[in-house]
């Protein structure tokens, strides 16, 4: 993925007639993320574009007569209750729609009255999963997380020997993916007891994982590889992703294979798809150590190494039920950045398709937990509490090593730098509820 020129849609001086957009910390005119919503006045879900505290209705825009050619085709595709068809059209259609929507939402737009009638307030609208997830792959691209977790379990060799050579990943359960705000039941599973035998019980080491989600767009030709230089053609946008993890289940079942039931019970994504075009001002070089090996040919592209990274600040906060009852804000446990990813998103796409695998519009990637190198930048409680040995104290005096019932996890992400409008992702929220019934002894 290469650096591309900025255009008028990135100009921070351009204002919108939507009052809540100007100065909005996440959703100014320069962002315009995509999503699916059900407005308060209608039971029909459809695609929309977030602007400030409003949502522009793509179904209404498609029949308004305000669009033409490529943008009109994109709006029709985005009118469905899932964005898969819009994702499938690719970057040219997405860019055309972004340009036309930006023009129509400007403060000086002559069509502003017509466009204003197509806006719905976010408050009262139901935000939906942006796309039908055909497949879900979770990567392990956060090297500081991999090193910290590896040090807990393999002090002699924290990083696997293949880590610096290929993007490690596993296929997750697409049916586990739900949209924020979510309620997550504490999973049951086999837990290893002190005597070495397992017991089937609710997880006692429930954790979050702070990740970047990647929505896949136009499909590559089946059986053909995807060069890194062209991987951007298959990326529709980004979101926040919480890959909930039952660490005690994981440690028992991951012998010898990888995550299974410890991960498949819940994955939560934020509802807005931040497009690659919106994040264009925040491209950055991939950070690598001089002693890291050069990527193999199918993972190496000089332009991607120079500008394929993303500069997005991340945050994870937690609140207990007692904290919320007392009026406390969620406690920020750590801050990190997508700069800490060891692989670019283009490299993830290229490697995933390097064996001829078919990717589909609406497939979802998780980056893997994004932790930083310093204390206070851990992307999971497993790291933050050093495997449960160093509890976090909440404002109410409660202690946490892992999540308890009633705890809420809040992920946030925002890109900001001087001279450029901020681009935010909104929030990814999930509340832990009690365990499901065991099912033991059933017929």
| Catalytic sites, residue numbers | 145
Contact 95, 73 (CB under 8 A): no
Catalogue the E-assigned strands of 257-389. Answer: 267-269, 283-284, 309-310, 313-319, 331-337, 364-366
The residue behind tokens 């900001």 is: 416
Spatial distance between the Cα atoms of 304 and 56, rounded to a whole number of angstroms: 33
* Terminal Cα distance for the chain, rounded: 54
Burial, 319: exposed, middle or buried (Cβ in 10 Å; 0-12, 13-18, 19+)?
buried
425 and 274 Cβ atoms separated by less than 8 Å: yes
The tokens describing 280, both together, are 């264009």
The b/e string for 257-275 (b: 16+ C-beta within 10 A; e otherwise) is: eebebbbbbbbbbbbbbbb
Measure the CA–CA gap between 369 and 314, rounded to whole angstroms.
11
3-state secondary structure 337-357: EHHHECCCHHHHHHHHCCCCC
Provide the sign of the torsion angle of the four alpha carbons 62, 63, 64, 70, taken in this order.
positive
Name the β-bridge partners of 335.
Answer: 315
Closest CA to 118 of 131, 104, 106, 128: 104
CA distance 339 to 309: 7
Question: What span, in angstroms and rounded, lies between the C-alpha atoms of 51 and 32?
Answer: 6
The pair of structure tokens assigned to 99 is 């340009």
Paired with 207 in beta bridges are 245
């Amino acid at each position: 993925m290469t650096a591309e020129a900025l255009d008028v849609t990135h100009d921070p001086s351009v204002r919108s007639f939507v009052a809540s957009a100007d100065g909005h910390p996440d959703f100014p005119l320069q962002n315009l993320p995509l999503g699916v919503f059900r407005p308060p006045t209608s039971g029909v879900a459809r695609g929309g574009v977030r602007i400030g505290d409003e949502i522009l209705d793509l179904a209404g825009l498609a029949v308004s007569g305000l669009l033409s050619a490529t943008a009109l085709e994109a709006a029709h595709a985005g009118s469905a209750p899932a964005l898969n068809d819009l994702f499938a059209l690719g970057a040219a259609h997405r860019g055309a729609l972004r340009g036309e929507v930006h023009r129509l939402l400007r403060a000086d737009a002559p069509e502003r009255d017509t466009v204003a009638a197509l806006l719905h307030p976010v408050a009262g609208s139901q935000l939906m999963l942006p796309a039908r997830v055909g497949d879900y792959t979770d990567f392990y691209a956060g090297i500081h997380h991999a090193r910290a977790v590896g040090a807990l379990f393999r002090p002699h060799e924290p990083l696997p020997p293949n880590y610096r050579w290929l993007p490690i990943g596993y296929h997750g359960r697409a049916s586990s993916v739900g949209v924020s705000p979510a309620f997550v039941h504490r999973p049951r599973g086999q837990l290893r007891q002190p005597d070495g035998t397992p017991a089937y019980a609710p997880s006692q080491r429930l954790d979050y994982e702070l990740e970047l989600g990647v929505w896949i767009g136009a499909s590559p030709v089946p059986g053909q590889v995807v060069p890194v230089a062209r991987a951007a053609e298959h990326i529709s946008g980004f979101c926040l992703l919480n890959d909930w993890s039952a660490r005690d289940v994981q440690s028992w079942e991951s012998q010898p294979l990888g995550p299974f039931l410890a991960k498949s019970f819940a994955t939560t994504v934020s509802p807005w798809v931040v497009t690659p075009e919106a994040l264009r001002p925040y491209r950055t070089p991939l950070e690598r150590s001089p002693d890291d090996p050069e990527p193999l040919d199918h993972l190496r592209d000089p332009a991607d190494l120079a500008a394929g990274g993303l500069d997005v600040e991340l945050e994870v906060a937690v609140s207990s039920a007692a904290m919320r009852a007392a009026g406390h804000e969620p406690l920020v446990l750590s801050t990190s950045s997508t700069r800490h990813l060891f692989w670019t998103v283009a490299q993830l796409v290229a490697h995933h398709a390097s064996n001829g695998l078919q990717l589909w519009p609406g497939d979802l990637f998780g980056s893997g937990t994004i932790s930083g190198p310093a204390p206070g930048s851990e992307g999971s409680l497993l790291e933050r509490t050093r495997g449960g040995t160093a509890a976090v104290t909440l404002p109410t005096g409660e202690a946490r090593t892992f999540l308890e019932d009633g705890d809420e996890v809040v992920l946030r992400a925002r890109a900001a730098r001087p001279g450029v409008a901020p681009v935010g992702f909104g929030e990814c929220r999930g509340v832990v509820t009690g365990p499901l019934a065991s099912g033991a002894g059933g017929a």
